Structure 1
Amino acid sequence: MDFNFLSPVSDLVLAHNALLSSQALGSKLRIHSKNQGIPDLDAVGIAIIGVLENRNDVNYIGEEFNLNEIRKSFYGLFPGSWSSVVADLGDIEKGERVEDTYFALKSIVSALLKLNIIPVIIGGTQDLTYATYRAYDDVIPMVNIVNVDCKFDMGDSSKPMKNNSFVGKIILDEPYNLFNYATIGYQTYFNSQEEIDLMDQLYFESYRLGEVSNDISLVEPAVRDANIVSIDLNSVKGSEVSLNQKFSPNGLDGKEICAIARYAGISNKVTSLGIYEYKPSKDDEMTAMLVSQMLWYFIEGVNLRVRDDDFADENSYQKFITLVDSQELIFYKSNKTGRWWIEIPFLADVNNKLKRHTLLSCTHQDYIDACSNIIPERWYKAFRKNSV
């Protein structure tokens, strides 16, 4: 396995780590250091990778950055009662070209996925999500992506890819592996009407900031169905972050972004997490601490995973059937966790992407709505996408 692309965690961070409490996270991690080299990955469940690539930022003016402050903050936190072994594999430096960085990230993510290790990428620009997505090409046939962002990032895919247009590239580039794309926390005034219409036409999901702030649990089913969760730090409101990081007075607050990170951890399907658009500044403590807490909640979530989506054992779930407009909807509720799913029917006469009855995560409210003759929107979009 080729880890030559990775450079070790800086001596500065390791010197800081040596001064921390022996109970802190820094002494529990397997860290890639200059002296010790790449740590043993045996029994590792989660691997943190920094990617120092920001050249595809639409506002790039040649600035460099590092992740030292995030590491210092993260290493100083105290772990929960976790069984997962976490490694910090250091950083992927900028390649000669941006494509070289993509290749390095794709290779490492693909290798980690095959070892059943969850890669957690902390990066510069969010176009790195494209490289992560391509790492799944020979791992699973269809991929669901959740993007926590104030923008859809569709962009003009006929132009070279930037951090505001990587989703268009994901949709249009072969092989076509994208099944669902959901944006959480979008703000309408940052998105053109054409992009909003395109999201609807493609039956992709979008959750407005107001909806999410009103009830954060709304987004749990979308995150539960995701394979890749990509978080843009510009989705966080300006008052929660450091000077350079401030983007908009409106956005998700610290509790909400950490709740989403925890949902991603708890999901049995999420196999990679990315936190992007980090921009250090002189007063960096706030952003570094927020990213550290997001990482903490994700790892906490992974340690709380429960296999509740195996419906082979009839004693492990309850089944509910309801009629909506002469359409039979079948719901399942896990006895272990109380989480809900809805069945998407198999359509024999179409070129079906899923080839079997597929269960889609949903909420108890979706079942209540179905009983009142309201078709759940997630089900409708998945059914339509499955019929195309």
Structure 2
Amino acid sequence: MTFNFLSPVSDAVMAHKELLLPQALGKKLKLHSKAHGIPDLDNVKVAIIGVLENRNDINYMGSDVQLDTIRTVFYNLFPGNWHTNIADLGDILKGDSVEDTYFALRTTITILLEKKIIPVILGGSQDLTYPNYRAYDSICPMVNVVNVDSNFDLGDSTLPIKNNSYLGKIILEQPYNLFNYSTIGYQTYFNSQEEIDLMEKLYFEAYRLGEVSNAINIVEPVMRDAHIVSVDLKAVKASEVAKKQKYSPNGLDGKEICAIARYAGISNKVSSFGIYEYQQSEDDHVTAMLVAQIMWYFIEGVNCRVNENVLGDPVNYQKFNVLIDDDDLIFYKSNKTGRWWIEIPFLPDVNNKLKKHTLLPCTHQDYTEATQGKIPERWFKAYKKNSY
């Protein structure tokens, strides 16, 4: 299979690249250009893909998606002490229909996943998360999705898919591959009580903006368990972005969204990362710079990944048993990184989604609270989800 759906990086961006300092990122990327075509992807770990599709935006008024400003700003940045090879594969243009674009994105992501390359998707409306999810159909039997957003995006699943309702399609359409869905940074007044109740009923996870801002580290175990991370730029507060991008006076600040991106990059499980709802305007430099820095921090995280097989050898971990009522909670702490996990038991008499004991990322605080008789909420939701 080849990357037939990708259009090369624009001539304007290629011309800008020639003016960069030798140490700049733009000089170190493998680029899809008109002159040379798709680059050799051997040893490439991260691939950038633009998707110029926004027709399922509920506010779509005929505007086009433009990503050149993001690219020029990103190319200007300097890499850290990175060992990761990065490619920019250009853009997927709008198809004759939105479904055509979905097919192109799904096919492209599937190829990259098979090559063990992490796609970084720039959009476009956030409903593009749906074809990103469907790309895993032949790759991973159970998928965890994390949405960094002020909204749950559940919507009305009986209506056609939109950027505020793609999750309903993910939940209800076969094959049923979704195991867990988490929203980071949601704001209650943007979500109906019915949606909040449904999130609870499905044992999905939701972290309010205040929780995240007060303790950004609660994001780390959520990201450690994610396969797909989808970032809606409307989660960022208005003071951090350009005029056309402003959505709400409350939201994540630039430092917080970049920290979240780095947690996603550090996760060994995260295999695709998308940034959506970019709205270009003439005073666009600040938003483009923020997106570029989000990408930078994600790739920085990828460079900091540590291979650790917690249960591979007892020398790699410490094991702790905590008895709460009739539940024996088993915690593990990595001797290499200090990260914590809690075991979800396999229930042999239940037709569940898990076929064996599995480890759920958690925090040291979860262990501390368990020793005081409090069952961790993440464990409870995962256990209940595994029981039906």
SS at match of 1:64: coil
The amino acid across from 1:143 in the alignment is V
Match of 1:316 in 2: 316
Residue 233 (1) aligns with residue 233 (2) = yes
Match of 2:284 in 1: 284
Determine the C-alpha separation between the residues in 1 that align with 2:246 and 2:355: 45
Deviation at 1:14, TM superposition (A): 1.0
Alignment of 1:96-111 (within 5 A): 96-111=96-111
Residue 118 (1) aligns with residue 106 (2) = no
Determine the C-alpha separation between the residues in 2 that align with 1:161 and 1:352: 28
Match of 2:169 in 1: 169
Deviation at 1:186, TM superposition (A): 0.2
The amino acid across from 2:269 in the alignment is K
Match of 1:74 in 2: 74
Determine the C-alpha separation between the residues in 1 that align with 2:93 and 2:2: 15
Deviation at 1:372, TM superposition (A): 0.2
Determine the C-alpha separation between the residues in 2 that align with 1:161 and 1:4: 26
Match of 1:90 in 2: 90
SS at match of 1:127: helix
Residue 41 (1) aligns with residue 62 (2) = no
Determine the C-alpha separation between the residues in 2 that align with 1:354 and 1:259: 31
SS at match of 1:328: strand
Deviation at 1:324, TM superposition (A): 1.1
Match of 1:184 in 2: 184
Match of 1:387 in 2: 387
Q: Deviations for 1:32-69, whole angstroms, at most 9, x for unmatched residues?
A: 11111111111100000000000000000101121000
Determine the C-alpha separation between the residues in 2 that align with 1:218 and 1:338: 15
Determine the C-alpha separation between the residues in 1 that align with 2:270 and 2:109: 13
SS at match of 1:244: helix
Determine the C-alpha separation between the residues in 1 that align with 2:65 and 2:273: 20
Determine the C-alpha separation between the residues in 1 that align with 2:101 and 2:65: 15
Q: Which runs of 4+ in 1 moved over 4 A?
A: none
Alignment of 1:192-341 (within 5 A): 192-341=192-341
Alignment of 1:152-167 (within 5 A): 152-167=152-167
The amino acid across from 2:156 in the alignment is D
TM-score w.r.t. the length of structure 2 is: 0.99
The amino acid across from 1:291 in the alignment is V
Determine the C-alpha separation between the residues in 2 that align with 1:5 and 1:219: 34
Deviation at 1:310, TM superposition (A): 3.7
SS at match of 2:17: helix
State the number of aligned residues.
388
SS at match of 2:66: coil
Deviation at 1:309, TM superposition (A): 3.8
Determine the C-alpha separation between the residues in 1 that align with 2:167 and 2:192: 15
Match of 1:364 in 2: 364
Determine the C-alpha separation between the residues in 1 that align with 2:109 and 2:18: 29
The amino acid across from 1:355 in the alignment is K
The amino acid across from 2:118 in the alignment is I
Deviation at 1:16, TM superposition (A): 1.0
Deviation at 1:253, TM superposition (A): 0.4
The amino acid across from 1:257 in the alignment is I
Q: Deviations for 1:334-368, whole angstroms, at most 9, x for unmatched residues?
A: 00100000000111110021110010000000000
Match of 2:10 in 1: 10
Match of 1:343 in 2: 343
Q: Deviations for 1:111-142, whole angstroms, at most 9, x for unmatched residues?
A: 00000000110011000000000000000100
The amino acid across from 2:336 in the alignment is K
* Matched-pair contact (CA < 8 Å) for 2:70–2:289: yes
Q: Structure 2 unaligned runs (5+)?
A: none
Q: Deviations for 1:228-279, whole angstroms, at most 9, x for unmatched residues?
A: 0000000000000011110000000001100110001000100000000000
TM-score w.r.t. the length of structure 1 is: 0.99
Q: Structure 1 unaligned runs (5+)?
A: none
Determine the C-alpha separation between the residues in 1 that align with 2:188 and 2:220: 21
